């Protein structure tokens, strides 16, 4: 691949010319192999697969084949994913050993390798392309449109696909006020969790006093189970950058920051490259595309603190301080980073901007519900058959997401709850599965949209254990500045530790509820205020589980050690003696050829027999 | 100027002496030295003209920063219920005594870091000790010390012949 | 000037003053712990919570740092505000079980005790209000102590948890500590004062005139370094004296000046 010399684009017309030039260089009929190297596929060896294809392409003298590495498609359950164009033939679960066959059959021979295609487990239908796969069929990909298609390390891919034309249109023929109006018409609400109307935030920042203003992209995605922002930053960094340049134009900011979580090195790499390439073309820097708008971006890495996802804590971190939030009685749009008017938006929020400016606010508002416009990217994970990233229009029901796209609960187990909103959210039980995904609807149920994590839980999940997990997580990540969060979470964890040990006391549920209310009212920042939501929502919908833990010292889901017992099913036991031999406390008795049994008084409930029994004769009761 | 301080000077210049970039500076410092040596942090406070307490506060707030170097080897001892019943407590004490190391800390010669954990889920192997990812089952105070004494220091060959 | 209606009383305050300022003016008592008029107000302790009328809903806000920018209505004695403050106090009592000052404040708030056990032990009897760190940085200008760690493991310490190189032994931290945890102790045998729990020791200078202990060496050094045009002979003479003895010299000198001819 010859290195491209990038010359500064002086006008919007230059950009158009460049796009036509790139398109002209490409042969739409040419063959192309797209290999996903997002983190999920990379973990399964996708980089080696990419290298193999690259090598094959180099060695192939007869046919010209382009090889591309792309960002996350979203179907992480079935990675590594390889797509062959023309035709978009999509292969799943590709291994290094398959490269040769794919090359020979599909790339050169235009034939399909059937065994590598996706087969729908319920209909047995074999799918050739993404559009045929149920996981993708119900999705509407605006934000993720470029993922899996573009090479994130080549700005030319983005430009050829129409990238930066929204920016060109904005600075050439729109006034900042026009841009604001367009975003307002779209009804876009923040995608980081707060759901605050984006245009309103931009307007407040623009109207705030002060010549120097900042825009920030919050890439500190910390919710366990959420990786939407990572995939966007890794897979299509330019849509975020373009969004920021447009936003800065509307607000009147000249400096922007992208704050990326320390644990996302690939995102940092791709963003850094993208910023550098954008600068080369003059899309960042002075007088962008010949306009009066000058703007540049600096990329900062986090230091490892979940709390830095909170806007004021993030700004403190950007000032070289500990990530402590501060009161928001004076909003950050008035006084934020270095006490200057600052607009902070989430990665996904920024990623929506180019499409809104390009296609118009009305187009965006035609998708979604009354109060929640557009689409939302979710990370669908947990006990669901198809885990991965999904982008759906607001208003789609939870049931459709879990069952149609997610393929339902895996292993034929019963659905129990879906947790949304990360540690600030709540668990939604089966009876509410037909709720449309919408900011206000989810809040009404005691959860929240949050950043988009969607964790599916089944009958084997203990809801008390889940609440304990979230409290422990939040306690570890609490910045410690304010009393209610720091002390309250420690007290709540202490109570949970007792309950899950079988030492729960009457009144514990009330104490947890009161502490939750105290946190909500008294904590300093939004993270502290919402910290108890997982507890409050599990008490609301699964109170009986708490009661059984406390009153009967029993864990109905059989998760909390010591709160259930192991027994040997006499009918299934084949008297092989493996359990007896491995029991560390000699709690199993049984004669040769007789069903064995566990002496409960000696049993420490370590679960070794359960793990070792080859006949699944040890059961949890 | 001592070499270490020169590295700090360089890093500070790299970020144009902007104390707002303190965290990236400390990340670069840690990348250079493997951890954050106290003297280098003092140099940093001096170069940037900010209080050392602020730097120490940042170093102890963010999870990615390490003030003490990790040992060459990582030793984990399970102190879950079953291992505990089988004497993990005595093993832990023996290790701490013999190698002058605290739970969660690193030996003075930086040979290994010692971390007791709550149940690794291998109760049939109790007591369990994991060294650099390798499981040792049924350890006793004596056998645990023997395994650790055989750990190769940097550049040395492994002295342990017993691959239990 | 915006008006603040607080528990039925109405006062005017300057724009930018806080609800706490308004309460003081109106004679309404709000408990505080981490607030000090000479220092910044990060509102960490949350004991000064009051209810703010948002026209339709009520919001709990901290009175020590809520800036009054327009007319507002505030309730200090509403059930929600009282319960919030009491809840915070209960958590603090669990955190600092041995503080007499805290128990006194609790009693004044109508909180008899706490139902919570002490579960956080990073620094016994410290409520992590940060007053000591702020006075040291903002007023004294030394920043000898600061917060270290995060969350429940947070503690106030000098760098590397060793005795501070920068502490001048002024004791301002002990003065502002609202729970009596920071103590200044004199070690007679070594002539040092120690500030606990920071393990900070400073030698005390002794008056060359009468032998009384007067000021710490670091403070004296600090003062010496700040002076400019000075009669160094006189200065050095007086620097080694306590304020009593210094006054004696001055009186003698003045007597000499005021009664000329005494040497004739």
- Whether C158 and B41 lie within 8 Å, measured CB to CB: no
Cβ contact A384:A419 at 8 Å: no
- Whether C166 and B54 lie within 8 Å, measured CB to CB: no
Would an 8 Å CB–CB cutoff place B152 in contact with chain A? Answer: no
User: Quick one: average pLDDT of B59-67?
Assistant: 91
Q: What is the ipTM of this complex?
A: 0.91
Please check the confidence at residue B84 and state whether its pLDDT lies above 80: no
| Candidates B36, B48, B50, B51, partner chain C, best to mutate (most C CBs within 10 A) | B51
**Residue A330 confidence (pLDDT):** 94
Residue at C190 is within a domain: yes
Cis check for the bond before A86: say yes or no (omega within 30 of 0): yes
Please check the confidence at residue B156 and state whether its pLDDT lies above 70: no
Residue at C211 is within a domain: yes
> Cβ contacts (< 8 Å) between C67 and chain A: which residues?
329-330
> Cβ contacts (< 8 Å) between B54 and chain C: which residues?
143, 146
pLDDT, greater one: B118 or B95 = B95
Q: What is the CATH number of the domain that holds C9?
A: 3.10.20.740
Name the token pair of B119. Answer: 């149940």
User: Quick one: average pLDDT of A9-33?
Assistant: 90
- Whether C94 and A322 lie within 8 Å, measured CB to CB: no
- Whether A491 and C91 lie within 8 Å, measured CB to CB: yes
User: Nearest C-alpha of chain B: how many angstroms from A583?
Assistant: 7
Q: Where in chain B are the domains?
A: 3-61, 73-149
| Candidates B63, B121, B125, partner chain A, best to mutate (most A CBs within 10 A) | B63
Residue B82: pLDDT band (50, 70, 90) is low
Q: Would you list which residues of chain C are within 8 Å, Cβ to Cβ, of chain A?
A: 42-47, 49, 60-62, 65-67, 80, 84, 87-88, 91-92, 94-95, 115-117, 119-120, 127-128, 147, 149-154
Angle, CA of A259, A264 and A265, to the nearest 5°: 100
Assess whether C173 and C247 both reside in one domain: yes
Assess whether C145 and C238 both reside in one domain: yes
Interface contacts (A, C; CB < 8 Å) = 97
Taking the C-alpha atoms of residue A488 and residue A475, their distance in angstroms, rounded to an integer, is 9
Other Cβ atoms closer than 10 A to C193: 19
User: Nearest C-alpha of chain A: how many angstroms from C38?
Assistant: 19
Cβ contact A491:A513 at 8 Å: no
Mean pLDDT of chain B: 85
Please check the confidence at residue A514 and state whether its pLDDT lies above 90: yes
Q: Where in chain A are the domains?
A: 25-135, 155-365, 375-458, 463-552, 566-620
Residue at C125 is within a domain: no
Among partner residues C144, C149, C150, which is closest to B53 by beta-carbon distance? C144
**Residue B160 confidence (pLDDT):** 47
N-to-C CA span, chain A: 62
Other Cβ atoms closer than 10 A to C173: 25
Task: Specify the 3-state DSSP secondary structure of A437.
Answer: coil
Name the token pair of A2. Answer: 């010859």
- Whether C166 and B52 lie within 8 Å, measured CB to CB: yes
Chain position carrying tokens 């017309």: A13
Among partner residues A301, A304, A582, which is closest to B124 by beta-carbon distance? A582
**Residue B164 confidence (pLDDT):** 38
Rg value, chain C, Cα: 24
DSSP-H helix ranges across B15-68: 22-33, 38-48, 52-61
Query: Which tens digit of pLDDT belongs to each residue from A352-405?
Result: 999 999 999 999 999 999 999 999 999 998 888 888 899 999 999 999 999 999
Residue B9: pLDDT band (50, 70, 90) is very high
pLDDT, greater one: A526 or B155 = A526
Would an 8 Å CB–CB cutoff place A518 in contact with chain C? Answer: yes
- Whether B51 and C149 lie within 8 Å, measured CB to CB: no
Could you please state the CATH topology (level 3) that the domain comprising A566-620 is classified under. Alpha-Beta Plaits (3.30.70)
Other Cβ atoms closer than 10 A to A58: 11
Please check the confidence at residue A472 and state whether its pLDDT lies above 80: yes
Burial A70-93, CB ≥16 within 10 A → b, else e: bbbbbbbbbbbbbbbbeeebbbbe
pLDDT, greater one: B164 or C109 = C109
**Residue A409 confidence (pLDDT):** 93
- Whether C146 and B53 lie within 8 Å, measured CB to CB: yes
- Residues of B numbered 10-39 whose beta carbons fall under 8 angstroms of chain A's beta carbons: which are they? 18-24, 26-27
Residue at C50 is within a domain: yes
User: Nearest C-alpha of chain C: how many angstroms from B95?
Assistant: 26
User: Nearest C-alpha of chain C: how many angstroms from A336?
Assistant: 15
Residue at C114 is within a domain: no
Could you please state the CATH topology (level 3) that the domain comprising B73-149 is classified under. Glutaredoxin (3.40.30)
User: Nearest C-alpha of chain B: how many angstroms from C72?
Assistant: 37
Closest A-chain CA to B25: A320
> Cβ contacts (< 8 Å) between B126 and chain A: which residues?
584
Among partner residues A320, A582, A611, which is closest to B23 by beta-carbon distance? A320
Query: Which tens digit of pLDDT belongs to each residue from A204-228?
Result: 999 999 999 999 999 999 888 888 9
Taking the C-alpha atoms of residue A606 and residue C6, their distance in angstroms, rounded to an integer, is 60
Residue C126 CB partners (closer than 8 Å, separation 6+): C95, C96, C155, C156, C179, C181, C197
Residue B163: pLDDT band (50, 70, 90) is very low
Among partner residues C60, C67, C153, which is closest to A330 by beta-carbon distance? C67
Tell whether domain A463-552 is in CATH 1.10.357.10.
no
**Of A478, A331, A326, A485, which is closest to residue C43 (Cα–Cα)?**
A326
User: Quick one: average pLDDT of C186-193?
Assistant: 91
Would an 8 Å CB–CB cutoff place C8 in contact with chain B? Answer: no
Q: A touches which chains (3+ CB pairs under 8 A)?
A: B, C
Task: Specify the 3-state DSSP secondary structure of B152.
Answer: coil
pLDDT, greater one: B125 or A490 = A490
- Residues of A numbered 448-507 whose beta carbons fall under 8 angstroms of chain C's beta carbons: which are they? 475-484, 486-491, 493-494
Tell whether domain A375-458 is in CATH 3.40.50.620.
no
Lowest mean pLDDT among A35-44, A86-95, A363-372: A35-44
CA atoms within 13 A on the CB side of A317: 33
Count how many domains chain C has.
2
Pairing between strand A118-119 and A126-127? antiparallel
> Cβ contacts (< 8 Å) between C145 and chain B: which residues?
53
Taking the C-alpha atoms of residue A406 and residue A140, their distance in angstroms, rounded to an integer, is 15
**Residue A76 confidence (pLDDT):** 80
User: Nearest C-alpha of chain A: how many angstroms from C165?
Assistant: 22
Among partner residues C146, C158, C165, which is closest to B54 by beta-carbon distance? C146
User: Nearest C-alpha of chain A: how many angstroms from B27?
Assistant: 8
Cβ contact A79:A45 at 8 Å: no
Assess whether C98 and C147 both reside in one domain: no
Q: Tell me the CATH number for domain A25-135.
A: 3.40.30.10
Mean pLDDT of chain A: 93
User: Quick one: average pLDDT of C1-21?
Assistant: 96
Backbone phi, psi, residue B45, to 5°: -60, -40
Please check the confidence at residue A116 and state whether its pLDDT lies above 70: yes
> Cβ contacts (< 8 Å) between C137 and chain B: which residues?
51, 53
CA atoms within 13 A on the CB side of A19: 15
Residue at C17 is within a domain: yes
Residue B89: pLDDT band (50, 70, 90) is confident
Cis check for the bond before C4: say yes or no (omega within 30 of 0): no
Would an 8 Å CB–CB cutoff place A584 in contact with chain B? Answer: yes
Task: Specify the 3-state DSSP secondary structure of A359.
Answer: helix
**Residue B162 confidence (pLDDT):** 42
Residue A42: pLDDT band (50, 70, 90) is confident
Residue C77: pLDDT band (50, 70, 90) is very high
Residue C219: pLDDT band (50, 70, 90) is confident
**Residue C260 confidence (pLDDT):** 54
Other Cβ atoms closer than 10 A to C61: 23
Architecture category of domain A155-365 in CATH:
3-Layer(aba) Sandwich (3.40)
Taking the C-alpha atoms of residue A504 and residue A515, their distance in angstroms, rounded to an integer, is 16
Assess whether C63 and C149 both reside in one domain: no
Q: Residue A88 — left, alpha, or beta (φ > 0 → left; ψ -120 to 50 → alpha)?
A: left
- Whether A476 and C151 lie within 8 Å, measured CB to CB: yes
Please check the confidence at residue A265 and state whether its pLDDT lies above 90: no
> Cβ contacts (< 8 Å) between C92 and chain A: which residues?
483, 487
Taking the C-alpha atoms of residue A231 and residue A101, their distance in angstroms, rounded to an integer, is 29
Query: Which tens digit of pLDDT belongs to each residue from A160-205?
Result: 999 999 999 999 999 999 999 999 999 999 999 889 999 999 999 9
Residue at C262 is within a domain: no
Would an 8 Å CB–CB cutoff place B68 in contact with chain C? Answer: no
The rounded Cα A305 to chain-centroid distance in angstroms is 17
- Residues of B numbered 124-143 whose beta carbons fall under 8 angstroms of chain A's beta carbons: which are they? 124, 126
- Whether B53 and C149 lie within 8 Å, measured CB to CB: no
Which structural domain range is residue C57 located in? 3-109
Query: Which tens digit of pLDDT belongs to each residue from A441-470?
Result: 999 998 999 999 999 999 999 999 999 989
Residue B120: pLDDT band (50, 70, 90) is low
């Amino acid at each position: 691949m010859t290195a491209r010399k990038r010359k500064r684009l002086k006008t919007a017309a230059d950009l158009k010319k460049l796009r036509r030039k790139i398109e002209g260089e490409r042969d739409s009929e040419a063959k192309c192999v797209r290999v996903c190297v997002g983190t999920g596929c990379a973990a399964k060896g996708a980089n080696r697969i990419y290298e193999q294809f690259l090598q094959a392409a180099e060695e192939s003298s007869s046919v010209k084949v382009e090889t591309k590495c792309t960002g996350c498609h979203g179907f992480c359950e079935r990675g590594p994913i390889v797509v062959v164009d023309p035709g978009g033939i999509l292969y799943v679960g590709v291994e290094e050993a398959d490269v040769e066959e794919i090359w020979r059959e599909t790339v050169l021979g235009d034939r399909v390798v059937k065994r590598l295609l996706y087969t729908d487990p319920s209909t047995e239908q074999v799918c050739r392309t993404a559009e045929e796969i149920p996981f993708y069929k119900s999705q509407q990909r605006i934000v993720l449109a470029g993922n899996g298609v573009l090479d994130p390390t080549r700005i030319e891919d983005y430009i050829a696909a129409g990238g930066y034309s929204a920016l060109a249109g904005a600075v050439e023929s729109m006034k900042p006020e026009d841009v604001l109006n367009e975003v307002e018409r779209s009804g876009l609400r923040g995608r980081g969790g707060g759901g605050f109307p984006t245009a309103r935030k931009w307007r407040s920042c623009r109207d705030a006093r002060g010549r120097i203003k900042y825009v920030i992209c919050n890439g500190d995605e910390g919710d366990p189970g959420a990786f939407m922002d990572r995939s966007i930053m890794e897979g299509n960094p330019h849509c975020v950058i373009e969004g920021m340049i447009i936003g800065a134009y509307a607000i009147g900011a000249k400096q922007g920051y992208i704050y990326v979580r320390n644990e996302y090195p690939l995102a940092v790499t791709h963003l850094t490259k993208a910023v550098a390439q954008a600068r080369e073309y003059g899309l960042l820097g002075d007088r962008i595309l010949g306009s009066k708008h000058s703007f540049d971006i600096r990329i900062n890495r986090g230091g490892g603190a979940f709390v830095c996802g909170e806007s004021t804590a993030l700004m403190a971190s950007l000032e070289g301080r500990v990530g402590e939030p501060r009161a928001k009685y004076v909003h950050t749009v008035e006084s934020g980073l270095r006490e200057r008017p600052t607009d902070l938006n989430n990665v996904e929020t920024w990623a929506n901007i180019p499409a809104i400016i390009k296609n118009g606010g009305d187009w965006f508002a035609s998708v979604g519900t009354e109060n929640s416009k557009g689409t939302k990217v979710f990370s669908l994970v947990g006990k669901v058959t198809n885990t991965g990233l999904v982008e759906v229009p607001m208003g789609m029901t939870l049931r459709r997401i879990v069952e149609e796209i997610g393929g339902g609960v895996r292993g034929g187990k019963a659905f129990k709850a879906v947790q949304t909103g990360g540690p600030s959210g709540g668990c939604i039980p089966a009876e509410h599965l037909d709720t449309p995904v919408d900011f206000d609807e989810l809040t009404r149920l005691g959860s929240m949209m949050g950043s988009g994590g969607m964790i599916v839980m089944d009958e084997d999940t203990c809801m008390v254990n889940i609440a304990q997990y979230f409290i422990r997580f939040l306690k570890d990540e609490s910045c410690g500045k304010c009393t209610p969060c720091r002390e309250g979470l420690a007290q709540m964890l202490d109570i949970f530790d007792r309950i899950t040990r079988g030492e729960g006391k009457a009144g514990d549920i009330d104490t947890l509820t009161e502490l939750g209310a105290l946190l909500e009212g008294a904590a300093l920042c939004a993270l502290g205020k919402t910290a108890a939501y997982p507890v409050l929502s599990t008490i609301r919908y699964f109170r009986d589980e708490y009661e059984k833990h406390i009153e009967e010292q029993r864990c109905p889901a059989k998760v909390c050690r010591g709160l259930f017992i192991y027994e040997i099913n006499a009918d299934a036991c084949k008297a092989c003696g493996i359990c007896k031999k491995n029991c560390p406390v000699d709690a199993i008795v049984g004669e040769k050829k007789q069903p064995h049994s566990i002496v409960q008084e000696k049993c420490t409930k370590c679960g070794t027999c359960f793990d070792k029994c080859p006949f699944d004769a040890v059961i949890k009761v | 100027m001592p070499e270490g301080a020169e590295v700090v000077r360089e890093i500070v210049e790299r970020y144009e002496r902007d104390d707002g970039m303190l965290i990236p500076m400390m990340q670069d410092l840690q990348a250079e030295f493997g951890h954050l040596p106290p003297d280098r942090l003092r140099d940093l406070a001096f170069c940037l003209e900010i209080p050392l307490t602020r730097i120490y506060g940042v170093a102890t707030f963010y999870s990615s920063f390490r003030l003490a170097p990790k040992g060459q080897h990582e030793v984990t001892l399970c102190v879950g219920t079953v291992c505990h019943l089988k004497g993990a407590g005595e093993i832990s004490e023996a290790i701490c005594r013999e190698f002058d190391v605290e739970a969660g800390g690193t030996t003075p010669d930086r040979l290994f870091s010692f971390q007791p954990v709550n149940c690794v889920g291998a109760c049939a192997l109790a007591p369990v000790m994991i060294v650099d990812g390798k499981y040792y089952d049924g350890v006793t105070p004596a056998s645990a010390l023997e395994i650790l004494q055989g750990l190769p220091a940097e550049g040395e060959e492994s002295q342990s012949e017993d691959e239990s | 000037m915006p008006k603040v209606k607080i528990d039925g009383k109405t006062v005017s305050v300057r724009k930018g003053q806080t609800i706490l300022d308004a309460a003081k003016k109106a004679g309404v008592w709000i408990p505080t712990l981490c607030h000090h008029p000479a220092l910044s107000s990060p509102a960490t302790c949350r004991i000064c919570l009051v209810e703010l009328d948002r026209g339709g809903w009520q919001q709990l806000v901290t009175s020590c740092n809520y800036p009054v920018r327009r007319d507002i209505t505030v309730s200090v004695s509403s059930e929600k505000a009282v319960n919030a403050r009491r809840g915070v106090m209960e958590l603090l009592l669990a955190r600092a079980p041995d503080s007499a000052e805290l128990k006194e404040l609790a009693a004044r708030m109508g909180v008899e005790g706490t139902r919570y056990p002490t579960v956080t032990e990073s620094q016994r009897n410290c409520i992590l209000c940060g007053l000591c760190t702020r006075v040291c940085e903002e007023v004294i200008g030394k920043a000898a102590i600061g917060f270290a760690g995060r969350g429940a493991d947070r503690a106030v310490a000098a760098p590397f948890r060793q005795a501070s190189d920068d502490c001048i032994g002024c004791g301002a931290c002990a003065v502002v500590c609202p729970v009596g945890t920071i103590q200044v102790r004199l070690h007679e045998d070594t002539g040092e004062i120690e500030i606990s729990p920071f393990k900070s020791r400073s030698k005390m200078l002794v008056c060359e005139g009468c032998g009384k202990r007067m000021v710490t060496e670091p403070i004296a050094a600090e003062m010496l370094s700040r002076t400019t045009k000075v009669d160094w002979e006189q200065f050095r003479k007086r620097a080694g004296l306590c304020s009593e003895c210094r006054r004696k010299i001055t009186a003698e000198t003045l007597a000499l000046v005021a009664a000329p001819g005494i040497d004739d």
